[in-house]
Amino acid sequence: MTTTSRPPTTSGAWRQGDPPGRRQFVGLGAVELERGGVLPDVTVAYETWGELNAAGDNAILVEHALTGDAHVVGEAGPGHPTPGWWDGLVGPGRPLDTDRWFVVASNVLGGCQGTTGPSSAAPDGRAWGSRFPFVTVRDQVQVETLLADRLGIERWHLVLGGSMGGMRALEWAVTHPSRVDRAVVLASTAYATAEQIAWCQAQLLAIRSDPHYRGGDYYDELAGPDAGLGIARRIAHVTYRSELELHERFGREPQGEEEPLGGSGRYAVESYLDHHAGKLAGRFDANSYLVLTEAMNSHDVGRGRGGVDAALARVTADVVVVAVDSDRLYPPRLSREISDGVAGATLHTVRSDYGHDGFLIELDQVGAVIERVLTSPA
């Protein structure tokens, strides 16, 4: 049975010549990478809401998670296959009130929605593919600092993000303490744990084992590694939700009239995972999934800084750490480690049955935290 929701193609990446949608683009030139080498002619795709004031002190940076992008809010349409991933938080009168704040979100380095990544054209005109270099969370933040410079933003009033976005928000506060007033780190960690890396290994192998992966050079072929990417998504999605939510939502129910007993049909939860696998293949790139996953595995704010405690001691921003009580991928203990390590930080716990995805779903609770952060005195 088919589990994809689009005609076969090699990648769901946004490519040059596709409708730009709300994206804006800026060229940053060459960028030196933490692990060595240089990426020439880096381009960043980004979106903004509101206006930067004359003092330049009302800028907020929103950091997306692994399969997110710069389209934080807005409808689906040409150039944007899905609606904004945090709809409800950005706009006039909303927690990130665009009548007051200048909100910026960029697609991360190594991504596939307009910022330079494996599906982008290399200097020879062909997609980077297997030649795309290893990038770290610190490289991604370096690119964001260059974007901030181009936008005339010397200091962020707030940097916030969840999951992989929380990694970058924390890295901003550690690497550039003089450029961050406040930070909100949601459902994230100061370093990738052994279990997180272990879950990621299975996902990386699923993509690389797909015969259509072709070592990463599949863009000019008739089909790409949709099957491997879909398996990776299924593995990941289970870790994003809680056992209780899956049990109460699906139980052991079959999918419609299908009969799983005997192997001729699916359980409802299997259909659910098939659906999410197909959706991702229609809007994402397998190589970017690999590059960004390995960047998350590399995440360790203490690397080269004397350890995590010494790194967190560098932070001068007002930090609020948000845990999701049912998160089994980034459990609350990891949020507590951040709040314990940053002087003056506070820890807030979101109550949710949804697991890790609670930071995306529990908009009322997350929005209330953001509003308190933005109304608190510096």
**pLDDT tens-place values along the chain, 378 residues long:** 333 333 446 899 999 899 999 999 999 999 999 999 999 999 999 999 999 999 999 999 999 999 999 999 999 999 999 999 999 999 999 999 999 999 999 999 999 999 999 999 999 999 999 999 999 999 999 999 999 999 999 999 999 999 999 999 999 999 999 999 999 999 999 999 999 999 999 999 999 999 999 999 999 999 999 999 999 999 999 999 999 999 999 999 999 999 999 988 999 999 999 999 999 999 999 999 999 999 999 999 999 999 999 999 999 999 999 999 999 999 999 999 999 999 999 999 999 999 999 999 999 999 999 999 999 776
How far is residue 132's CA from residue 216's CA, in Å, rounded to a whole number? 9
Residue written as token pair 């960690």: 189
Q: Are 14 and 113 in contact (CB under 8 A)?
A: yes
How far is residue 170's CA from residue 341's CA, in Å, rounded to a whole number? 12
DSSP 225-246: -HHHHHHHHHHHHHHHS-HHHH
How far is residue 290's CA from residue 84's CA, in Å, rounded to a whole number? 23
Active-site residue numbers? 163, 327, 356
Residue type for position 329: L
* C-alpha to C-alpha distances, 45 to 107, 185, 254, nearest whole angstrom: 6, 23, 42
Structure confidence at residue 9 (pLDDT): 60
DSSP classification of residue 127:
B
Model pTM score: 0.95
Structure confidence at residue 3 (pLDDT): 36
| C-beta neighbour count of 61 within 10 angstroms | 27
How far is residue 332's CA from residue 339's CA, in Å, rounded to a whole number? 11
